[in-house]
Structure 1
């Protein structure tokens, strides 16, 4: 979720402060979610998705990246 949140926030040209204000949370909490230091509740997930104009599933959808595929391959060696 952290990567998707940051990507979608940037795509919407929003700062953490702007998103936090729209969602009714602190910018520090948004930053913690983006760093994967905390997990957002389903309620918060829905509020963030609404503020970003996306379906909540978009926030939790797995991202296929070269680094995670590389890690998975290394684990099978």
Structure 2
């Protein structure tokens, strides 16, 4: 997925655990883990705002776009180039 999640970076900078962040944001540690590991399909703006408030950062500090490699870009949508 071309959206990379950098929650780990902000957790390290703030010296905060996943459990502490989850509790302060109001989501389960399991759901935060899904988001943190890039497995989430979507994130609610309210959750993103809460993450930013607790971590004292901007959305761009948590999420960034990365271009996919050339092989993937040439493949039809929904088809993996390495399949």
Q: Do the structures match in fold with TM over 0.5?
A: yes
The higher relative CO (CA closer than 8 Å, separation ≥ 6) is in 2
Give runs of aligned pairs for residues 1-77 of structure 1, distance below 5 A: 3-38=5-40, 39-62=42-65, 72=69, 75=71
Provide TM-score, normalisation by structure 1.
Answer: 0.72
Deviation at 1:46, TM superposition (A): 0.8
Structure 1: any 5+ residue segments left out of the alignment? Answer: none
Provide TM-score, normalisation by structure 2.
Answer: 0.67
Structure 2: any 5+ residue segments left out of the alignment? Answer: 74-83
- In terms of fraction of residues, the more strand-rich structure is 2
Determine the C-alpha separation between the residues in 2 that align with 1:29 and 1:12: 20
Displaced runs of 4+ in structure 1, greater than 6 A? Answer: none
- In terms of fraction of residues, the more helix-rich structure is 1
RMSD: 2.2
Which structure has the larger Rg?
Answer: 2
User: How many positions carry a matched residue from both structures?
Assistant: 69
